[in-house]
């Protein structure tokens, strides 16, 4: 009990430090501008806030459309208990991406201009439109949880009625902008390292987002299990991990073919910084997950699956940061003799945003019916499917009971 | 008629008149500068060759024919005008800086130290060249355009005094309007004129004087062609010009993907609907069969 308490305070203290740093940077950012608060410059106009908060963040939130698709479109109902946590992560993720964008935009108050001055030739315009619409779709997809909690049955019925078209719309929008985040970089062929510049970028971005969406879902269900004793059955998680690894195998096959056709294999032994970063990406995203999953004990334990998925998440983050930052380093060096590394303030803001995400997720799991439970939910399930499947029967307390306990 | 600028680096003596005129006409601080920034739209870099010669490499926005910056900008703040100039609209910009990332020549610069930052780059004196000498002013003394709206350059209103200076600085000796840099150049190393004519002139110079030029008009084919041409006696890569650029316009690379999206979405949408329909039907059938089975077993018992 004691060690549990000290762990809690340790994490709280760490979070507090990050949040204070983030707050300080926020004041500098909105008081004195981007120059004072970041390491960005005329030579390196995009940095961590675009690379992580936006490009990586949107990818990490891909679990929402992936699971909604698996369960509601492909009708693989076994995974039903995971849909809600996945949609919650996605919704939270997109909200935080928009927060991150507010920090990075030079004139954030003008963001609505994207609605009226449309440039259909701009990839960024398409991303902006999709992210905006999809966030609204996610809010609707998530709304049953809240409606259920507050017993607003009429509204719930309405949302239930439009569920399927909503989910299809969500998947289409996700396909569009997950891939377009890759397309953003198609316009700078001469600036990027050949490892990461590819005409295939949009496809690669989409496929890796599907994989990491599943990965994030596995990670968070494990963490929720530890924190709140709310969890999913191990075989279910194992199946999810298997799908993730399948997608990753497809992804890396495409990557390899792509590198081969563009003659980028030649660099693999040059020992450069870029090559090391590529190896890191492949190790985290492919090698370690494959090993862990196939180890007898690890691949069957909850913890083993968590580490498998966590490694994929790390690998994915490495990949997005490589595309957005590492791949441009060489260009910065040879052309301007500079290199970009995020400043303390940029890091503090990014970490703060992630911390806020964790906190809100934890609160939501605590007070809303996110993970399955025994409530009289028979008629109120998101899709109207029979509620008491085997998975949900194994679940724990109702939110009401939860509240009473605390 | 699309216009362009021709810079003959073999003639340039590095006096800096173009740079000074640019700073003056745009109300920028007058200063020496070696690299572009938010208040320097053009620079001169001195390059010493192996045999002790000095060459001055001028740098400015290339005013691409199909500009990457304009295609990148989500709000269309950057625009290729019919006149040839690529202009930028303060009021539209949201400050995403994608234009800076996209530009193959790294031209657009940013005001990093303010809370209402602007993207800045050479506009080929677009508004300046279109300012009439006899334009009217309103009661407060600000110049109006033909439709009676106040003229603003980069968010700055123009006074009558200002206008007279601008008109003078952007009018050639033959009375034609031109960019301030080309008017200021004392030896005609920077010329402003119709694009096709300047291009022909550039080739004429190379042909009639093959020994003093490298056989290339920089800007003719780079990224699909630009509206600023350079002639040089030294290979361009030695002057720090990017020489590895494709001859294809960069926006085509993103457009090739974007133009396919409607088809992809339509197909994927129908496919998803079909999958839903099939799996849903299967689910219904399964449920129905179960029910029938249940009923039968009930009847039996
Ligand atoms: S040089 Fe750069 S800023 Fe100028 S028009 Fe071309 S892409 Fe735009
Ligand atoms: S920074 Fe401004 S001008 Fe540049 S792409 Fe973004 S909105 Fe357009």
Q: Which ligand is nearest to the CA of B87?
A: 1
Here the tokens at position B298 are: 């009930």
What is residue A397's predicted lDDT score, i.e. its pLDDT? 39
Place of tokens 């303060």: B90
Distance B80 CA to ligand 1 centre (A): 10
Question: How near does any CA of chain B get to the CA of A119, in Å?
Answer: 5
The residue whose CA has the least distance to atom 4 of ligand 1 is B61
The H-assigned helical ranges of A117-162 are 123-149, 153-161
| Per-residue pLDDT tens digits for A115-155 | 999 999 999 999 999 999 999 999 999 998 888 888 888 88
* 3-state secondary structure (DSSP) of residue B86: strand
Give the integer Cα–Cα distance in Å for B103 and A11. 44
Residue B224: phi, psi to the nearest 5? 85, 10
Burial of A280 (0-12, 13-18, 19+ CB in 10 A): middle
What is residue A389's predicted lDDT score, i.e. its pLDDT? 39
Residue B218: phi, psi to the nearest 5? -70, 130
Q: Between A203 and A377, whose confidence is greater? A: A203
Homologous superfamily of A14-405: Formate dehydrogenase/DMSO reductase domain (1.20.1630.10)
Quick one: DSSP state of residue B52?
A: S
Question: How near does any CA of chain B get to the CA of A224, in Å?
Answer: 31
Annotated domain spans of chain A: 14-405
Judged against a pLDDT cut of 50, whether residue A270 lies above it is answered with: yes
Alpha-carbon torsion, ordered A93, A98, A101, A107, to 10 deg: -170
Q: How far is CA A44 from the centre of its chain?
A: 25
What is residue A3's predicted lDDT score, i.e. its pLDDT? 60
Place of tokens 């003056």: B24
Q: Between A396 and A110, whose confidence is greater? A: A110
Burial of B211 (0-12, 13-18, 19+ CB in 10 A): exposed
CB atoms within 10 A of CB A199: 15
Give the integer Cα–Cα distance in Å for B78 and B70. 5
Q: Is B5 in the pocket of ligand 1 (CB under 6 A)?
A: no
Q: What one-character-per-residue DSSP string does B190-208 give?
A: EEEEEHHHHHHHHHHHHHH
One of 3.30.10.20, 3.40.190.10, 3.40.50.300, 3.30.70.20 is the CATH number of B3-131+170-253, namely 3.30.70.20
The residue whose CA has the least distance to atom 8 of ligand 1 is B69
Here the tokens at position A355 are: 């911390």
Q: Does A337 touch chain B (CB under 8 A)?
A: no
Task: Name the closest residue on chain A to residue B108, using Cα atoms.
Answer: A42
Task: Name the closest residue on chain B to residue A34, using Cα atoms.
Answer: B112
Here the tokens at position A382 are: 């998101």
* 3-state secondary structure (DSSP) of residue B45: strand
Q: Does A108 touch chain B (CB under 8 A)?
A: yes
Place of tokens 């492909």: A74
The H-assigned helical ranges of B26-102 are 68-72, 98-102
The answer to whether the beta carbons of residues B117 and A105 sit under 8 Å apart is: no
Q: Does A334 touch chain B (CB under 8 A)?
A: no
Distance B63 CA to ligand 1 centre (A): 5
Place of tokens 């200063």: B31
| Per-residue pLDDT tens digits for A35-44 | 999 999 999 9
| Per-residue pLDDT tens digits for A233-252 | 788 888 999 999 999 999 99
Give the DSSP H or E segment for B5.
Answer: strand B3-8
Here the tokens at position A21 are: 């740093």
Here the tokens at position B89 are: 């609209």
Averaged over successive runs of 10 residues, the pLDDT of chain B (301 residues) comes to: 92 91 89 85 87 87 96 95 92 94 95 92 92 84 85 84 89 90 93 94 93 92 95 89 91 94 94 92 86 84 69
R_g of chain B computed on alpha carbons: 28
Residues 6+ positions from B230 with CB-CB distance below 8 Å: B6, B7, B8, B9, B58, B217, B218, B219, B236, B241
Q: Which ligand is nearest to the CA of B92?
A: 2
Q: Does A81 touch chain B (CB under 8 A)?
A: no
What is residue A230's predicted lDDT score, i.e. its pLDDT? 61
């Amino acid at each position: 009990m004691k060690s549990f308490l000290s762990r809690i305070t340790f994490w709280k203290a760490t979070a507090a430090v990050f949040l204070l740093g983030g707050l300080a940077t926020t004041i500098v950012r909105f008081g004195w501008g981007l120059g004072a608060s970041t390491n960005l410059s005329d030579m390196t106009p995009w940095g961590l806030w675009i690379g992580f908060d936006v490009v990586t963040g949107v990818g990490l939130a891909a679990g929402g459309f992936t699971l909604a698709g698996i369960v509601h479109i492909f009708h693989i109902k076994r995974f039903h208990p995971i849909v809600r946590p996945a949609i919650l992560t996605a919704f939270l993720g997109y909200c935080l991406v928009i927060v991150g964008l507010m920090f990075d935009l030079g004139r954030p108050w003008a963001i609505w201009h994207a609605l009226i001055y449309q440039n259909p030739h701009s990839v960024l315009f398409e991303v902006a439109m999709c992210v905006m619409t999809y966030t609204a779709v996610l809010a609707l997809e998530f709304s049953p949880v809240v409606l259920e909690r507050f017993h607003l049955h009429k509204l719930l019925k309405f949302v239930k009625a439009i569920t399927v078209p909503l989910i299809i719309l969500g998947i289409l929008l996700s396909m569009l902008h997950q891939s377009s985040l890759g397309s953003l970089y198609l316009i700078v062929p001469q600036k990027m390292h050949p490892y990461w510049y590819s005409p295939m970028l949009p496809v690669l971005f989409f496929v890796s987002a599907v994989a990491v969406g599943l990965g994030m879902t596995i990670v968070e269900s494990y963490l929720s299990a530890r924190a709140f004793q709310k969890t999913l059955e191990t075989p279910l998680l194992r199946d999810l991990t298997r799908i993730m690894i399948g997608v990753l195998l497809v992804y890396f096959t495409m990557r390899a073919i792509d590198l081969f056709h563009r003659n980028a294999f030649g660099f693999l032994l040059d020992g450069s910084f870029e090559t090391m970063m590529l190896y890191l990406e492949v190790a985290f995203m492919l090698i370690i997950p494959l090993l862990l999953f196939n180890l007898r004990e690890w691949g069957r334990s909850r913890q083993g699956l968590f580490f498998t998925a966590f490694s994929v998440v790390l690998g994915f983050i490495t990949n997005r940061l490589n595309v957005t930052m590492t791949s441009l380093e060489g260009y910065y060096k040879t052309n301007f003799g500079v290199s970009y590394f995020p400043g303390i303030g940029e890091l503090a803001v990014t970490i703060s945003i992630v911390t806020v995400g964790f906190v809100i997720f934890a609160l939501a799991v605590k007070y809303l019916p996110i993970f399955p439970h025994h409530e009289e939910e028979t008629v109120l399930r998101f899709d109207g499917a029979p509620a008491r499947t085997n998975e949900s029967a194994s679940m724990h307390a109702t939110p009401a009971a939860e509240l009473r306990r605390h | 008629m699309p216009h362009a600028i021709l810079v003959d680096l073999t003639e340039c003596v590095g006096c800096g008149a173009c740079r000074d005129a640019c700073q003056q006409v745009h109300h920028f601080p007058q200063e020496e500068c070696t690299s572009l920034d938010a208040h320097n739209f053009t620079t001169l870099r001195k390059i010493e060759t192996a045999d002790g010669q000095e060459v001055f490499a001028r740098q400015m926005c290339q005013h691409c024919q199909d500009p990457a910056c304009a295609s990148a900008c989500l709000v269309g703040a950057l625009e290729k005008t019919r006149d040839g100039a690529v202009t930028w609209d303060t009021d539209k910009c949201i400050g995403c800086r994608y234009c800076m990332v996209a530009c193959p020549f790294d031209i657009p610069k940013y005001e990093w130290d303010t809370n209402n930052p602007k993207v800045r780059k050479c506009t080929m004196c677009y508004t300046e060249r279109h300012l009439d000498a006899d334009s009217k002013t309103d009661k407060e003394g600000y110049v109006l355009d033909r439709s009676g709206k106040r003229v603003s350059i980069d968010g700055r209103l123009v006074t009558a005094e200002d206008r007279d200076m601008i008109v003078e600085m952007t009018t050639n000796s033959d009375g034609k309007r031109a960019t301030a840099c080309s008017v200021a150049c004392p030896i005609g190393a920077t010329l402003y004129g119709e694009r096709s004519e300047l291009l022909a002139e550039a080739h004429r110079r190379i042909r009639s004087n093959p020994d003093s030029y490298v056989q290339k008009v920089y800007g003719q084919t780079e990224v699909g062609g630009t509206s600023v041409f350079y002639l040089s006696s030294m290979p361009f890569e030695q002057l720090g010009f990017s020489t590895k650029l494709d001859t294809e316009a960069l926006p085509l690379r993103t457009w090739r993907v974007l133009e396919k999206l409607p088809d992809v979405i339509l197909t994927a949408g129908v496919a998803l609907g079909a999958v839903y329909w099939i799996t849903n039907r299967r689910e219904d059938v399964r449920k129905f069969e179960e029910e029938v089975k249940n009923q039968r077993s009930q009847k039996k018992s």
